[in-house]
Structure 1
Amino acid sequence: MKFFINRTTKEIIEVVLGNDTTFTSEGSEMVELKANSTDAAGEKHVPVMTVEGNTVHVVVGSVLHPMTEEHSIQFIALETKQGVQRKALLPTDQPIADFVLAEGDEVVAAYEYCNLHGLWKVEA
């Protein structure tokens, strides 16, 4: 899974198909987000996944990530062998998401994006 960001507008895109790695937005080249590459507290940013039956529960951080206007998780995404599911979050939400797997599907990884500390990922 690849995500790109326009550092000026903060727009983020996800590559669904293809190998093109050059994207522009508002006249600026978008930069690929690299997971777990920011110097920040891992215990508040690395997603924690639990799978029970076909339900995947994702919590951002072993210590729950704060959610304020200034510092919050923007989305949680689940990559599976069959596709991607994503939950958008507001600063008033808890940094938690539940996803349901289709029959026969398997988790590949969970991602979260913090507006201050970037993209974080945990593999299944």
Structure 2
Amino acid sequence: MIVPQKDFGRGLTGLQGSLYCGTGCFHRRKVTYGLSPDEEQTQGRNMSLINEYEALRTKLRNSRELMESAGRVLFAMDKNTGHPKDISKAVKTAVLVAACYYESDTQWGKQVGWVCNQIVSCRLATC
């Protein structure tokens, strides 16, 4: 798994972002950010940023780093994303995402997250 990720993972990051995958799971970009790559081209730039910020806030709760990341991807808000300025914030956000706190009392948790309430990969979240 390390060799394909090192060799192919970097090439895939130019094609709508890198993959989120693990043992028995694979999540598309639409599941993570709410729009597919094609919809980003047509709809993402035409949406009101204020309304969409509120929608992202409802969807992702209070994870500012995750909302900023989603905003950059969906609305091309910042072409020069580069590395995070403060690595400790990035680590805290990664812990938040890994712990799935954003699924609690959010639209994401109700509509996309553990819809089937099973430990095995949910069909809705992985297809």
Please report the TM-score for the alignment, with normalisation by the length of structure 1.
0.27
Q: Which has the higher strand share?
A: 1
Please report the TM-score for the alignment, with normalisation by the length of structure 2.
0.26
